[in-house]
Structure 1
């Protein structure tokens, strides 16, 4: 008998599925707990315990853990088992630098290919972020925030680069959540995307680059600009 139900989790509908429905639901549940810190960095995860918790087979759990391993959220080592991946500042800095390079370098391609469907999708993600913020659901806000930026970059039509950006996005959000103060301004996080949308709608590439660079550089408050670039208000 399952310790908790995972087959009907509404969050599973918001995270792209790359596996069976059952293993995807386990993946989403574990991803949420890792990103929010309920499963702390370094914690050991066993297939047997997770299978008992979710009321599924170890094979289903193994598939979910393999997907988490691909995202870098867990580490699976032979003869040493599976552990929640660390979340170090050095990694966050490097990934934010890489994210800025990926997102800001190709905005001319995004602007050229921007259309009504793209704008509609982005506004949809923004509205979903606002709803998540009002519901105080930080994980769902994170999911929609990541979806916003992934959809924006998708317009550049560089599919081999998109998986790299996906990893940058989730680890930036994880680091932010694990190292930010309580009572974070979730609605402010959602509204940070409004000027980005306005610049894209105007096809103002220079303004879009400046806004997005500043947006990325100020995701996590380490003090100075993490990306090594100049801040732009």
Structure 2
């Protein structure tokens, strides 16, 4: 199955011809991120600034800025004179990243339940609807962007802001691992995966344990089915062993308007 990408290759050079260099590097970064996350760019070949500058119609300094941002987010690594390469996480690294993501996101659930508002909940449901639209168009990079926005917005409700950059990087690298490996049309439409709506329903009920358990299973099942060679044994190891600490069902009540 070939991924149908949101951006057309024929329009790549237009990314860099308007606006200031900062905006140009952002556009290049976004397109390179798309290529890496969907598997169009792999770790097999070096990425050279000169070739990219020619491809995108930009200066090498603009390309360098984009590559630095990709490196900060864990998508590329610079190897001196050998060049820049797409990262290729080991099985151990991939498993640790998954565990880290689950630990961070589930730790945020109690705070998210306490602070969740009706407006925030509706915004999360709207992001989920936008993901459905992207899946219908087979825009899997768009799904990736919206999925990470969904999970980050949910986590921001927890108030654990120091952990946000770690979650951003971890989620992005995990998508880079899982999306190219998926054999089906979308990693978010795999059988048995609890949908985002189930997480939101538990949040609306202010049920900490149910929300955390559903979130954990959502992340685990996507990983296990999209990349079974890496995560096939992980779901079994962790299923049923999750603890949220002193999780409790908060008193239900109306969500506050922002």
| Matched length | 221
Secondary structure class of the residue paired with 2:14: coil
* Residue in structure 2 matched with residue 195 of structure 1 by the alignment: 198
What displacement does 1:151 show? Answer: 0.5
Query: Structure 1 residues 182, 106: CA separation in 2 closer, same or farther (over 3 Å shift)?
Result: closer
* Residue in structure 2 matched with residue 78 of structure 1 by the alignment: 80
* Residue in structure 1 matched with residue 26 of structure 2 by the alignment: 24
CA contact (8 A) 2:74 2:169 kept: yes
Gaps spanning 5+ residues in structure 1: where? 9-18
Query: Structure 1 residues 171, 185: CA separation in 2 closer, same or farther (over 3 Å shift)?
Result: closer
User: TM-score, normalised on structure 1?
Assistant: 0.87
Describe the superposition over 1:103-149 as per-residue Cα deviations: whole angstroms up to 9, x where unpaired.
Answer: 11221111111012321221121011011000011110011011100
After superposing on structure 2, the runs of 4+ consecutive aligned residues of structure 1 that deviate more than 4 Å are 185-191
C-alpha distance in 2 between matches for 1:107 and 1:62: 38
C-alpha distance in 1 between matches for 2:73 and 2:131: 22
Q: CA RMSD in A?
A: 2.3
Please, which moves more after superposition, 83-92 or 21-30? 83-92
CA contact (8 A) 1:22 1:60 kept: yes
What displacement does 1:159 show? Answer: 1.6
User: TM-score, normalised on structure 2?
Assistant: 0.79
Query: Structure 1 residues 141, 120: CA separation in 2 closer, same or farther (over 3 Å shift)?
Result: same
Gaps spanning 5+ residues in structure 2: where? 1-10, 242-258
C-alpha distance in 2 between matches for 1:231 and 1:35: 30
* Residue in structure 2 matched with residue 4 of structure 1 by the alignment: 13
Matched, 1:147 2:149: yes
* Residue in structure 1 matched with residue 238 of structure 2 by the alignment: 229
Secondary structure class of the residue paired with 1:37: coil
Structure number with larger C-alpha Rg: 2
What displacement does 1:78 show? Answer: 2.6
What displacement does 1:5 show? Answer: 2.0
Secondary structure class of the residue paired with 1:92: helix
What displacement does 1:7 show? Answer: 5.3
